[in-house]
């Protein structure tokens, strides 16, 4: 069992509790090109909800709309329980800085996950073991350094000569924290935004890019996930279309044991 204390990720997604207003701060360790790594922002929002005294049940769905860049420093999270019933809670969170306009807008659903018929229709992706794959080492932004990416398929080859093959946005990879940390809902949330931009893969080059809206569904209860006791996931990500400056991404996050932990989708801006 890995210890969770003083991990960079926990520092980066730390929150200070309030009543409806919580505080967080950006982290140099999880910095992207023009702002914080979106996955760290999403995980910070999720942490505020999980830690909230009124929270009940497990995270089921989180949608994060990235409205404007977040500047380095502290931010406020206006956390609101919009509606609760016997088995589900609906939350909204607005991230602001210095009383300015909303920079990030999120909605979340928490649910009591009662026993039911269970069926996993998706197939576990075949992959060589983590240990047999060379870690990805070309680090462009500080947040990339915090992860141990091991590409099984769709190895990033950005900046290479575009081959004659048709564009292919598919990737299959292992993802762990660079400093191993037990996978929890927070790291799943962050990892669901830790795929490189599909447009980078499809075009094999870096282009201006920004996630606009991200939705992640959790398919394991907190108890299920804790029982897995893992420090990395096997993930696949793909895109269906790039058109008029926006493209999609859809992904699956798997436990090494073959359990589908989360699915994620996003729509993103690109310039190409």
Query: Rounded to the nearest whole angstrom, what is the least distance from the CB of residue 135 to its own copies in the complex?
Result: 27
Structure tokens at 3: 């210890």
Binding piece for its own copies, criterion CB under 8 A, among 120-128, 145-153, 174-182, 183-191:
120-128
Q: Which is nearer to its own copies, 91 or 130 (CB)?
A: 91
Query: Rounded to the nearest whole angstrom, what is the least distance from the CB of residue 92 to its own copies in the complex?
Result: 6
Binding piece for its own copies, criterion CB under 8 A, among 18-26, 57-65, 133-141, 225-233:
57-65
Distance of CA 102 to the CA centre of its chain: 20
User: Does residue 118 bind its own copies (CB under 8 A)?
Assistant: yes
Q: Do residues 124 and 254 touch, judged by C-beta distance below 8 A?
A: yes
User: Does residue 192 bind its own copies (CB under 8 A)?
Assistant: no
Indicate the SS3 state at residue 130: helix
Q: Which of 48, 185, 220, 253 binds its own copies (CB under 8 A)?
A: 220
User: Does residue 267 bind its own copies (CB under 8 A)?
Assistant: yes
Nearest-5° Cα angle at 44, 38 to 47: 145
User: Does residue 245 bind its own copies (CB under 8 A)?
Assistant: yes
User: Does residue 79 bind its own copies (CB under 8 A)?
Assistant: no
Binding piece for its own copies, criterion CB under 8 A, among 2-10, 16-24, 62-70, 140-148:
62-70
Q: Do residues 243 and 268 touch, judged by C-beta distance below 8 A?
A: no
User: Does residue 212 bind its own copies (CB under 8 A)?
Assistant: yes
Q: Do residues 40 and 24 touch, judged by C-beta distance below 8 A?
A: no
Q: Binders of its own copies: how many residues, by CB under 8 A?
A: 64
Q: Which is nearer to its own copies, 127 or 144 (CB)?
A: 127
Give how far Cα 197 sits from Cα of 78, 80, 250, Å.
29, 31, 11
Residue 171 CB burial class (10 angstroms; 0-12, 13-18, ≥19) = buried
Closest Cα to residue 196, out of 69, 38, 43? 38
User: Does residue 171 bind its own copies (CB under 8 A)?
Assistant: no
Task: Name every residue whose Cβ is closer than 8 Å to that of residue 30 and which is 6 or more positions away in sequence.
Answer: 8, 9, 12, 36, 37, 39, 40, 142, 143, 146
CA atoms of 73 and 224, how far apart (whole Å): 35
Query: Rounded to the nearest whole angstrom, what is the least distance from the CB of residue 145 to its own copies in the complex?
Result: 29
Which residues in the 122-141 window bind its own copies by CB under 8 A? 122
Strand partners, 67: none
Structure tokens at 16: 């200070």
CA atoms of 214 and 269, how far apart (whole Å): 12
Query: Rounded to the nearest whole angstrom, what is the least distance from the CB of residue 240 to its own copies in the complex?
Result: 4
List of residues contacting its own copies (CB under 8 A): 60-61, 63, 65, 67-68, 82-83, 85, 87-88, 90, 92, 94, 101-103, 105, 107, 109, 111, 113-122, 167-169, 202-203, 212-213, 215, 217, 219-221, 224, 238-246, 248, 250, 252, 260, 263, 265, 267, 269-272
């Amino acid at each position: 069992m890995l210890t969770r204390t003083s991990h960079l990720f926990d520092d980066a997604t730390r929150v200070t509790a309030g009543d409806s207003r919580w505080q967080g701060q950006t982290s140099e360790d999880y910095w992207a090109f023009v702002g914080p790594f979106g996955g760290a922002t999403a995980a910070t929002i999720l942490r505020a909800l999980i830690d909230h005294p009124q929270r009940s049940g497990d995270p089921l769905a989180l949608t994060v709309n990235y409205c404007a860049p977040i500047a380095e420093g502290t931010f406020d999270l206006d956390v609101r329980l919009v509606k609760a019933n016997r088995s589900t809670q609906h939350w909204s969170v607005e991230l602001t800085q210095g009383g300015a306009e909303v920079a990030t807008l999120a909605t979340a659903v928490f649910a009591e996950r009662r026993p039911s018929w269970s069926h996993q229709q998706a197939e576990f992706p075949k992959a060589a073991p983590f240990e047999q794959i060379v870690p990805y080492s070309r680090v462009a932004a500080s947040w990339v350094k915090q992860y141990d990416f091991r590409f099984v398929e769709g190895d990033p080859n950005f900046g290479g000569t575009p081959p004659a093959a048709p564009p292919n946005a598919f990737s299959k990879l292992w993802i762990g924290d660079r400093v191993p940390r037990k996978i929890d809902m927070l790291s799943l949330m962050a990892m669901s935004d830790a795929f490189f931009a599909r447009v980078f893969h499809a075009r094999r080059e870096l282009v201006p890019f920004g996630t606009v809206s991200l939705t992640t569904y959790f398919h394991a209860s907190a108890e299920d996930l804790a029982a897995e006791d893992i420090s990395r996931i096997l993930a696949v990500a793909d895109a269906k279309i790039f058109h008029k400056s926006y493209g999609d991404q859809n992904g699956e996050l798997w436990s090494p044991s073959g359990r589908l932990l989360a699915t994620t989708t996003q729509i993103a801006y690109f310039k190409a």
